[in-house]
């Protein structure tokens, strides 16, 4: 992906972008960690974008974590780059983000002049004001994630890629943003997230071995009263071919709910545990169809009229959410098809 050709077009939709540094009392010292494994085709791009940030060069350091990277030439180039610190892991198998991030966190545990970590997967791209915006939001949140904007490859999107991109935009623009405004936590996205150093020191090492572990880490933060916020005007850009559903299987989510609901010490962690088992769109439609049909034909403890009114209210609320997320009519089919795409998650 060539950032100059593709991302700039996506950035122009924010023509009235706020100037963050005018509202920030201080510039934070930031460590930006870029995790790369396998071919890491986009690593050179993301490193160059980070080196070209508008943010003060004295206020951030870049670490490239090469986890059994297969790009030997790039590895040599980075080793000779004075602006980039390299952690090279040459195990027989990749150690994964969890251990890689923990190595860096342990290495910088005693650093006195470090305020926050920015963790990015090498598949991401960022704008030149990314760290300036990160610095601004560090005054508002302890842990937060940027919006991931999926951009096309060099070919038109397939039907299922449109489904992925539309669903991701709906979640980002409405669900995740609404949860943040309500001061509710969101699932940690290990491909791109920011965490203050004192919070990381308090929580301890990472555990991101799989999607279920990401849920457990988010719950661990919530139990400590730490909300993982979502910031929709802080963006990273990723090729649609790198799309990955971050939702664990329903069986794993039910297991987490069952084991943690009664052991959650505060309301926010209890709410997050309950959110893991919320039904999807088609499950709600099916449930209401059964309830309406049964209450219309047979005596029921809730009247048919009451069920119909709640259904209409929810339908109107859903329509308003589509407008808020700027989902256009031609994209409805993609959004409604997502539960079919994610059908494997029910087992």
Exposure string of 295-330, with b = 16+ CB inside 10 Å and e = fewer, is beeeeeeeebeebeeebeeeeeeeeeebeebebeee
Residue numbers of the chain with a pLDDT score lower than 50: 1-16
Residues shown for the chain: 347
pLDDT for position 261? 85
Looking at residue 198, its pLDDT comes to 92
| pLDDT value of position 196 | 95
> Residue 54 CA to chain centroid, in angstroms?
24
- CA dihedral for 315, 317, 320, 321, sign (positive or negative): negative
Distance separating alpha carbons of residues 301 and 295, to the nearest angstrom: 8
Q: Answer whether 198's CB lies under 8 Å from 226's CB.
A: no
Angle at 250 between CA 245 and CA 254, to 5 degrees: 135
Tokens 């050709």 correspond to 5
Neighbouring CB atoms inside 10 A of 33's CB total 22
Q: Quick one: pLDDT at residue 156?
A: 85
Contacts of 24 (CB under 8 A, 6+ apart): 135, 136, 139
Position 209 scores a pLDDT of: 74
This prediction has a pTM of 0.85
Q: What is the pLDDT of residue 53?
A: 94
- Residue among 30, 52, 180, 40 at smallest CA distance from 119: 30
CA distance linking residue 324 with residue 321, whole number of Å: 5
CB atoms within 10 A of CB 70: 13
Tokens 């203050």: give the residue.
196
Look at residue 15 in the predicted model and tell me its pLDDT: 42
- The pLDDT value given to residue 72: 66
Distance between CA atoms of 245 and 205, rounded to whole angstroms?
24
Distance (Å, rounded) from C-alpha 188 to C-alpha 40?
Answer: 22
């Amino acid at each position: 992906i060539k950032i100059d050709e593709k991302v700039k077009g996506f950035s122009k939709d924010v023509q009235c972008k706020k100037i963050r540094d005018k509202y920030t009392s201080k510039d934070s010292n930031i460590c930006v960690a870029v995790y790369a494994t396998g071919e890491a085709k986009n690593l050179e791009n993301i490193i160059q974008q980070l080196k070209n940030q508008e943010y003060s060069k004295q206020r951030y350091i870049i670490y490239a974590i090469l986890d059994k990277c297969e790009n030997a030439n790039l590895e040599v180039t980075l080793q000779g780059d004075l602006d980039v610190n390299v952690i090279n892991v040459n195990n027989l198998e990749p150690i994964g983000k969890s251990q890689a991030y923990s190595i860096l966190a342990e290495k910088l545990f005693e650093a006195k002049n470090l305020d926050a970590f920015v963790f990015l997967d090498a598949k991401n791209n960022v704008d030149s004001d990314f760290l300036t915006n990160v610095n601004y939001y560090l005054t508002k949140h302890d842990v937060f994630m940027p919006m991931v904007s999926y951009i096309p490859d060099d070919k038109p999107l397939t039907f299922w890629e449109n489904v992925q991109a539309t669903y991701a935009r709906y979640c980002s623009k409405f669900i995740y943003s609404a949860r943040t405004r309500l001061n509710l936590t969101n699932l940690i996205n290990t491909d791109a997230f920011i965490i203050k150093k004192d919070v990381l020191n308090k929580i301890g090492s990472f555990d991101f071995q799989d999607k279920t572990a990401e849920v457990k880490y988010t719950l661990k933060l919530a139990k400590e009263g730490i909300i993982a916020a979502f910031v929709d005007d802080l963006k990273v850009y990723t090729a649609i071919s790198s799309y990955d559903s971050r939702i664990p299987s329903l069986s794993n989510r039910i297991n987490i709910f069952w084991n943690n609901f009664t052991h959650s010490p505060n309301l926010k962690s209890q709410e997050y545990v309950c959110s893991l088992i919320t039904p999807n769109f088609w499950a709600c439609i099916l449930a209401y169809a059964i309830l309406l049909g049964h209450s219309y034909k047979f005596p029921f403890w809730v009247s048919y009229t009451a069920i119909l009114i709640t259904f209409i209210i929810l339908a109107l609320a859903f329509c308003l959410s589509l407008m808020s997320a700027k989902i256009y009519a031609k994209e409805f089919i993609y959004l409604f098809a997502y539960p079919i795409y994610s059908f494997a998650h029910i087992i």
